[in-house]
Amino acid sequence: MDGPNLVRRTAAAVLAAALCGWLSMLAPADERVRLAAARSEAAAPAPKPEPPKPKPKPPPPDCTRAKCLALTFDDGPTESTAGLLDILASRDVKATFFLVGENVAENPGLVRREHQAGHEIADHSYTHADLGRASKKKIVSELTRTQDAIRNASGVTPDLLRPPYGSTSKRLARIAREMGLAQVLWTVDPLDWRHRDTEDIERRVLKDVKPGQIILLHDIHPTTVRAVPKIIDRLSAEGYVFVTVSELFGGKLTPGEEYTELDSGEGQGLP
């Protein structure tokens, strides 16, 4: 008894579906477009909320009055740089990194991390070459290749140069000026590349430092990285503030000129 009824119900459903399709074809074109758009909007995923905007960076201190120091690290980035970045982040300290181009090419992720953390990135030649004794062709090659490597890794083009070994010349000064690079040397050198002793590095830095100075360290040595927490903690307790090289000089460094420390007069280091 149910057979005929089932056949009739099935036939009615097929007829209804066909009729709906036929009627939709008879609808005006703009109505069909509207219906299609409505179906598309319903299927589209909801837009993702925008990420929160970073907090504005506080202005740097006035280093003509504050007890400012610039921590600088040469020759990286290497494996030990990652641990150093963790240490600096835990203490909210910004530093300046003078990078060797070969290491930039091998570790672009660390360069990006340095930049994203707010550190200053600078040029230290491509092969750690003695630029003070080099020819014009060699100097231009070393600096240009490093600038390109850093820009490719981080999107930043440095405007600071530290010549390896502190070796400079009139030729280098002229080329640096043409390339828009100020030459940054240092005041405090604990010879951490020679003395691979963490306590000795700490002692040498803490003994010699004064306001407005630039501290030279090498993040390629784990013994140096291990010395950084005590250096920061002890000097912070004495009222020192850590800034980048550009911040130390108020953001005003002249291309080609040499910078070793900020000496602004008797008021420096006062609260």
Out of 74, 75, 192, 219, pick the active-site residue.
74
What is this structure's pTM? 0.79
Listed by start position, the domains of the chain span 2-37, 68-259
pLDDT (0 to 100) of residue 60: 85
Does 218 participate in catalysis according to the annotation? yes
Distance of alpha carbon 191 from alpha carbon 240, whole angstroms = 22
Phi and psi, residue 248, nearest 5°? -60, -40
The 10 Å Cβ neighbour count of residue 151 is 15
Asked if 198 and 218 count as a contact pair (C-beta separation under 8 A), the reply is no
Question: Angle at Cα 244 formed by Cα 242 and Cα 249, nearest 5°?
Answer: 105
Out of 119, 218, 219, 221, pick the active-site residue.
218
Half-sphere exposure of 153 (CA within 13 A, CB side): 28
pLDDT (0 to 100) of residue 188: 97
Asked if 184 and 216 count as a contact pair (C-beta separation under 8 A), the reply is no
The 10 Å Cβ neighbour count of residue 153 is 21
pLDDT (0 to 100) of residue 201: 97
Distance of alpha carbon 266 from alpha carbon 263, whole angstroms = 9
CATH (one of 1.10.1740.10, 3.90.1170.50, 3.20.20.370, 3.40.50.300) for 68-259: 3.20.20.370
List of the chain residues with pLDDT < 50: 1, 7, 14, 17, 19-20, 22-24, 26-27, 54
